[in-house]
Amino acid sequence: MAWTHDTGYPPAYDHPGYPVAVLLDGTETGGSSARAAAEVIGWRSACGCGWRGMEFHSRRDWPSSTGLAPDAVDGYDTGTATFAEWQRHLDRVLPELAVHDLARRLVDVEEQLRVAVHAARVAGLSSPQIRAVSQAARGIAAGSAVSVGRPARGARSRSCERSVVGVETGPPR
């Protein structure tokens, strides 16, 4: 079964991945004919663009009565084996793919946030109350990110607390 990186980035659709079967004579087949079933000696990761993975998964180590790649060799369910190697191929040939996917997720999250803010307003919260919760959450996120990478954590936390206090003590809208 082929894998598709299905997040709406058109160039990714030129790279359908799959575990390709390697036959006794060294040729490959994506099919599951009777000949293939008998002559398959193993599998490697493959892509529709012609790329082939380096790792060979021997049928001796991964028994298969049908000649099709076992789940452990396919790796789709666990994000391992031939599937994982194909994903690394995608990362190399489309280094912007992660940017696309994260930006797309951000759009989704922003829409969810918009809906949640609307629901909170309908439930009776004021704009400053909602803003305070949002800013506090952003401060927590910024603080945890900074604590991993940079030493300026204290400054960021303090400025965040100030802004939250400012909202709480400010005039209600």
- Output the smallest distance, CB 141 to Zn ion, in A: 35
Integer Cα distance of 92 and 87 in angstroms: 9
Integer Cα distance of 162 and 91 in angstroms: 41
DSSP 20-36: EEEETTS-EESS--HHH
Query: What track of x and - describes contact with Zn ion for positions 32 through 71 (by CB under 5 A)?
Result: ---------------x-x-x--------------------
Integer Cα distance of 52 and 38 in angstroms: 22
Nearer to Zn ion, 15 or 57 (CB): 15
Nearer to Zn ion, 7 or 112 (CB): 7
- Output the smallest distance, CB 94 to Zn ion, in A: 9
Return the range that interacts with Zn ion (CB under 5 A); candidates 7-15, 24-32, 101-109, 138-146.
7-15
Task: Retrieve residue 51's tokens.
Answer: 């790329």
Q: Is 9 in the site for Zn ion (CB under 5 A)?
A: no
Indicate the DSSP class of residue 13. G
- Interacting positions 12-31 with Zn ion (CB under 5 A): 15
- Output the smallest distance, CB 13 to Zn ion, in A: 11
Nearer to Zn ion, 22 or 90 (CB): 90
How many residues in the shown chain lie near Zn ion by CB under 5 A?
Answer: 4
Helices assigned H by DSSP within the chain: 34-39, 71-74, 81-93, 97-122, 127-149, 153-169
Question: Which among 22, 7, 6, 18 is positioned nearest to 85, based on CA atoms?
Answer: 18
Q: Which residues bind Zn ion (CB under 5 A)?
A: 15, 47, 49, 51
